Amino acid sequence: MGAFIALGLFQGAVYGLLAVGIVLVYKAKRVFNFAQGEFGSVAAFSAFYLVVALGLPYWVGVVGGLVAAVGTGLIVERVIVRPLESASRTIMLVALVGVALFTIAITVLIAEPIPRVMPPLIGGSGVNILGAGILPQQLILLAVLAVLAAAMAWFFKTDLGLAVLASSQDIRAAQVVGISPVAISRLVWGMAALLGGVAGLLYAPVGIFTPGFMTLTMLVPAFAAAVLGGMTSLPGAFVGGISIGIVQNLGIYLLGQQLAVPGAAELGVFALLMLVLLIRPQGLLGKEA
């Protein structure tokens, strides 16, 4: 059981990392960003192409992957988000789902749906934590999550972060005091894509990856993590991500292994999401408005 908790802790780090990006977009735009996972896929596939197919050094792959992710984020902002600024939230959400599906379809078309293995940032054998073998890559992942969640929490204390919040609350009043909504929009989507790219680059080497790997299995737990954390709280995204990872793995242990219920991981996440909305819709660390 200890091994499952340890596995869940590190699995949860990925959810937390995606949740940080989701929370950023939600704070700034009040919209659920269903494309967050695909920024990670774009980064992972670009890095794989540069490092494995072209044989370039690893840092070139990392930089290239992040540039590709941010580029995708800016294109999404320009082509989809900004023209729909005045449309309803419902339409915006549908459009972001469309972006995610589109990116998956493009990845399948360009890079056939075969499993790939990305070399890790630091090689070497796993560390034994509570009886579970944890790769160095996963340790890095957890550390990066802690740093980025703290950095984003700090960002919202700076003038620029306050400008993002102001623009989110009243776009016209923000314009009056000289905050450009276009610049804010670009900044938010660029940062969200960067965070998604980091998540994708760090998670791809943990196992094998296929087109849509970030969206198909990671996105729902990441949203559950953001909701559990309170949707607007960055420390909440950190705590939520790790909690979801642990709950998911306890679900696998208790339901899957002991009771042989199929799909215990998904069931655990769904049950937790329902419980949070039922008992504490504002989440663990969320504040009103």
Binding region for other proteins (CB under 8 A) out of 35-43, 50-58, 109-117, 232-240: 109-117
- 89 sits near other proteins (criterion: CB under 8 A): yes
70 lies in the binding site for other proteins (CB under 8 A): no
Whether 237 and 226 have beta carbons less than 8 Å apart is answered as: yes
**What token pair was written down for 230?**
């309170």
For 3, counting Cβ atoms within 10 Å of its Cβ (0-12 exposed, 13-18 middle, 19+ buried), the class is: middle
Among 2, 57, 113, 207, binds other proteins (CB under 8 A): 113
Of residues 43, 44, 81, 104, which one binds other proteins by CB under 8 A? 104
Binding mask 37-66 vs other proteins (x if CB under 8 A, - otherwise)? ------------------------------
Distance between first and last Cα of the chain = 39
Matching residue, tokens 């023209």:
83
Residue 176 vs 278, nearer CB to other proteins: 278
Q: Give yes or no for residue 76 binding other proteins (CB under 8 A).
A: no
Counting contacts by CB under 8 A, is residue 75 touching other proteins? no
Q: Please give the backbone phi and psi of residue 177, each rounded to the nearest 5 degrees, phi first.
A: -90, 15
CB of 201 to other proteins, least distance (A): 24
Q: Is 262 in the site for other proteins (CB under 8 A)?
A: yes
Q: Which of 32, 213, 238, 253 binds other proteins (CB under 8 A)?
A: 32
269 binds other proteins (CB under 8 A): yes
Q: How far is the CB of 53 from other proteins (least distance, A)?
A: 17
Nearer to other proteins, 89 or 130 (CB): 89
The phi and psi torsions of 203 (rounded to 5 degrees) equal -85, -30
Q: By CB under 8 A, tell whether 111 contacts other proteins.
A: no
Nearer to other proteins, 87 or 130 (CB): 87
Residues that bind other proteins (CB under 8 A): 30, 32, 79-80, 83-84, 87-91, 93-95, 97-98, 100-102, 104-106, 108-109, 112-113, 219-220, 223-224, 227, 261-267, 269-270, 273-274, 277-278, 281
